[in-house]
Amino acid sequence: MNNTILVTGGAGFIGTNFVLQWIANTEARVVNLDLLTYAGNRRNLQSVENDPRHIFVHGNICDDALIASLLKQHQPRAILNFAAESHVDRSISGPAAFIQTNIFGAFTLLEQARVYWDSLEPEAKTAFRFLHVSTDEVYGTLQPEDPAFQETTPYAPNSPYAASKASSDMLVRAWHHTYGLPVLTTNCSNNYGPWQFPEKLIPLTILNALEGKPLPVYGDGLNVRDWLFVEDHCAAISRVLEEGRPGETYNVGGNSERRNIDVVTTICDILDELQPDSAIGTRRKLITYVKDRPGHDRRYAIDAEKISKELGWHPAQQFESGIHRTVEWFLAHRNWVDEVRSGAYHEWIEQNYAGRFAQ
């Protein structure tokens, strides 16, 4: 059987980490399709650029002819869909891209996967999998006393981003129940770690704190997220791909609920220890509360008991160890940071935060 997988969005944050981990741990080939939008970066994949097992293709998951061609040419045993617009603030200011990529893109992949799967010989058809990577944000928000999200929690998305991912999840479900396509879905909590584009909370805080810039914290800073180290997430996806039951959903969490303000202060303290700067002083004084995001969900929490019991996966990193590794990675990769913080990035930061500091 062909031991090739097709990964979409493999030059983005989570996709990059998955591709690098997969190449390091297996002998399989990876066909890596990415549109290279603002958050996709081929430099992330420099270490496997000349590896014959990694085949990079610049293209769009909405291009049905391209998808059909790649499936016919490479005959993968699995498709893993990481490709997505994923930043809530961007979805609020410009939802159209999220509808296009997250919904229409998922539809295009599913349809081409169905046609391809129908054409396979019985053994390859039985082995084939379509794995869709999603988010805990599809479940909506939790109150402090509520139990964590389970796979059976009703969907209640509250942002354009979450709604677009919920829509794609429902498409995946429908293609399984209607056509029999052997799908798998993972819903993860907030990821952090190497290669994360610096508009998200943790890398933004690290970089601003290094430079003595204000550290924006939405609202009262008490919003809670479950933080998952990206390498743990990628290991979970590999486990689901190989051992998950078709048609099932698996929640993937880090067992590390933290308030946003505590995440920020932890980063400040680590940087004060690892890279003290007398001109800046204690970095906690840089914390600046800003106007909250519209419709900001109060709390997310993942119950990962299903993947733990059924597939034996557990996160290797707790937040304290993972955040240290993340800060150290950003300190060691300042050239990468400087390259990705392009003019477009600075324009976005200005657009998103300029009006908030006036609170």
Write out pLDDT tens, residues 81-118.
999 998 788 899 999 999 999 999 999 999 999 999 99
State how far the Cα of 196 lies from the Cα of 203, in Å rounded to an integer.
Answer: 7
In the chain, DSSP finds a helix count (H) and a strand count (E) of: 14, 12
Annotated active-site residue in 89, 136, 169, 232: 136
Angle between helices 260-274 and 201-211 (to 10 degrees): 40
Asked if 116 and 69 touch (Cβ cutoff 8 Å), the reply is no
116 tagged catalytic: no
Phi, psi of 134 (to 5 degrees): -125, -160
Known active-site residue 137: yes
The confidence score (pLDDT) of residue 345 equals 46
Mean pLDDT taken over the chain = 94
According to the model, what pLDDT value does residue 104 have?
97
Q: How much is the pLDDT for 350?
A: 60
Per-residue confidence (pLDDT) for residue 291, from 0 to 100 = 93
Q: How confident is residue 353, by pLDDT bands cut at 50, 70 and 90?
A: low
What is the reported pLDDT for 27?
A: 94
Closest C-alpha to 99, from 85, 89, 112: 85
Question: Which neighbouring-strand residues pair with 133?
Answer: 186
pLDDT score recorded for residue 347: 58
d(C-alpha 252, C-alpha 85), whole Å: 19
Strands 224-229 and 257-259: antiparallel
Pinpoint the alpha helices (H) of the chain: 13-25, 64-74, 88-93, 96-98, 105-119, 122-127, 160-179, 201-211, 230-243, 260-274, 305-311, 319-332, 334-340, 343-353
Q: Which residues contact 165 (CB under 8 A, 6 or more apart)?
A: 84, 102, 134, 135, 137, 138, 157
The helix-helix angle for 260-274 and 319-332 (nearest 10°) equals 50
Dihedral angle computed from the Cα positions of residues 307, 139, 195 and 55, in that order, rounded to the nearest 10 degrees:
70
Q: What's the CA gap between 161 and 157, in Å, rounded?
A: 8
Residue with tokens 């505590």: 262
Judged against a pLDDT cut of 80, whether residue 351 lies above it is answered with no
pLDDT value of residue 339: 85
Summarised one tens digit per residue, pLDDT across range 247-279 is 999 999 999 999 999 999 999 999 999 999 999
Statement: residue 232 has pLDDT above 70: yes
pLDDT tens digits, 305-331: 999 999 999 999 999 999 999 999 999
Q: What is the DSSP letter of 192?
A: E
Nearest to 182 by CA among 232, 113, 252: 113
Cα of first residue to Cα of last residue in the chain, in angstroms, is: 60
Using DSSP, state whether 295 is helix, strand or coil.
coil
pLDDT digits (tens, 9 = 90+) for 121-167: 999 999 999 999 999 999 999 999 999 999 999 999 999 999 999 99
Residue 26 makes CB contacts below 8 A (sequence gap 6+) with none
Mean pLDDT of 182-192: 98
Band (pLDDT 50/70/90 cuts) for residue 355 is: low
Q: Which of 85, 137, 226, 257 is catalytic?
A: 137
pLDDT at 338 over 60: yes
**Are 82 and 37 within 8 A, CB to CB?**
no
Q: What number of CA atoms fall less than 13 Å from residue 116's CA on the CB side?
A: 28
Q: Which domains does the chain have, with CATH numbers?
A: 4-190+229-253+299-316 (3.40.50.720)
Q: b/e string for 312-348 if b means 16 or more Cβ within 10 A?
A: ebebebebeebbbebbebbeeeeebeeebeeeeeeeb
| Virtual torsion, Cα 173, 64, 32, 162, nearest 10 deg | -40
Are the C-beta atoms of residues 273 and 208 closer than 8 Å to each other? no
The pLDDT score that the predictor gives to residue 343 is 53
Confidence of residue 358 (pLDDT cuts 50, 70, 90): very low
What is the structure's pLDDT at 348?
46
Please determine, for residue 288, whether its predicted confidence score (pLDDT) is greater than 70.
yes
Please name the residues in contact with 135: beta carbons below 8 A apart, sequence gap of 6 or more.
86, 162, 165, 187, 188
* Encoded amino acid at 137, one letter: E
pLDDT at 174 over 50: yes
Residue 64 bears catalytic tag: no
What is the arithmetic mean of pLDDT over 2-25? 97
**What pLDDT was estimated at residue 359?**
44
Of 116, 161, 192, 353, which residue is the catalytic one?
161
C-alpha triplet 93, 99, 102: angle, nearest 5°: 115
pTM: 0.93
